[in-house]
Amino acid sequence: MVTPRLSEPDLLNRPLHLPNGSVLRNRLAKASMSETLATYDNHPTAKHVELYRRWAASGIGLLLTGNVMIDRRALGEPGNVVIEDEADLPMLRAWARAATDQGTALWVQLNHPGKQSPKGLNAVNLSPSAIPFREDMASFFDTPREATTAEILDIIQRFGRSAAICKKAGFSGVQIHGAHGYLVGQFLSPHHNHRTDEWGGSPENRRRFVMAVYAEIRRQVGPDFPVTIKLNSADFQRGGFTEEESMATILELAGAGIDLIEISGGTYEAPAMSGAFQQPKTASTAAREAYFLEFAAKVRAKVQVPLMVTGGFRTAEGMNAALRTGALDIVGLARLMAIDPDAPVALLRGRDSVQRVRPITTGIKPVDRMGIMEILWYTRQLKRIAEGSSPRPGESGLVALIKGLMTSSWGTYRTRRMRA
């Protein structure tokens, strides 16, 4: 049973009971952010342990890892962790214990990038269909190759295998990354999926992939291990995944027994998750803080599966107010945790963080429109925390872009060399 909605003014400190019996100690979660702290041959490191130990020490109830890849041939960026066998079990166990020994749940976000991978990183990028990125992004991303049925079935199996290894390593659960334009989202979106076989065409067929991934993970981890998903409310692209299709997907996943749904939105081409496409029309809408709260309320009216909303939260009062609506069960924080890893200490006491998330810009408009820009900036802050230092909230966006691109280019070169 899902914990009932509560009427007390401070709900952030209340535990949440998931349908499978797992309990989160409070309603604050650190949403997934890409760390790129792995070796260039994709093994986790002591930096992952340090970063998550620091976050767990804040008292937060749930931590989600950055996107962990299920196939070494399909990386989203240099420095991704890949879990496709048990070679890294000792380090994975240390990573899991860094949080769980402090009472914080730690879920691994499992991902396949599909076509959303920097040019030159992978030998080939697979996608439902061979649809290129828009013209101004084509220099960063190759046009993918359409995946064969055999490749699709292999990817589904890999999701399940990776989840089973996560369970064996002692992580508290897994999350399917079905948002932000990665492979699961590509299958769901008619903008990216032009297939005419059983994996494309109708909305039902485009949902087949995510349902198969969920079913395979559940088969390999059993009924008592939390299996969750991060899903777009919409792609915010013409001809893309709509709110109506998102709702239909949520209903099917809820019926299949998924344990929690995190609601987000956008892609690298339309980065709503960063706020770039969020333009509140009224003062009351702006006061709600969260970007996707209105869609969450529509979902709550139809399902009782626990919901997490990430994006836009700024204050303890705004978070509690959102919880009081009953539209969500977990408040997701991402960028704030990168500039203030101790933010939950204040928030769980009813106080606001001393830091404020600000737009990160370079002054180069085409670059600032891309979601990848902010990823580079925040990744640099995570690395500082992982190395035992403090983040730099005032760092220049342009400096971060230049240094981030240099690091990414070098990482791409080293990754390809290690595969040769």
pLDDT in tens, 61-113: 999 999 999 999 999 999 999 999 999 999 999 999 999 999 999 999 999 99
Strands in 196-282 per DSSP E: 227-232, 260-264
Mean pLDDT of the chain: 90
Q: What is the DSSP letter of 289?
A: -
pLDDT at 323: 96
**Which whole number is the average pLDDT over 373-379?**
87
Walk me through the domains of the chain, giving residue ranges and CATH numbers: 16-359 (3.20.20.70)
Residue in 305, 309, 300 with CA at minimum distance from that of residue 278: 309
Q: Residue 4: pLDDT above 50?
A: no
Q: Residue 275: pLDDT above 60?
A: no
Task: Tell me the whole-structure pTM to 2 decimals.
Answer: 0.91
Q: How far apart are CA 253 and CA 405, in angstroms?
A: 38
pLDDT at 285: 44
pLDDT at 6: 41
pLDDT at 350: 95
pLDDT tens-digit series, residues 133-149:
888 777 789 999 999 99
**Which whole number is the average pLDDT over 145-172?**
98
Radius of gyration (C-alpha) of the chain in whole angstroms: 20
Residue in 20, 29, 15 with CA at minimum distance from that of residue 106: 29
pLDDT at 174: 98
Q: Residue 2: pLDDT above 70?
A: no
Q: Residue 282: pLDDT above 90?
A: no
Burial class (CB in 10 A: 0-12, 13-18, 19+), 225: buried
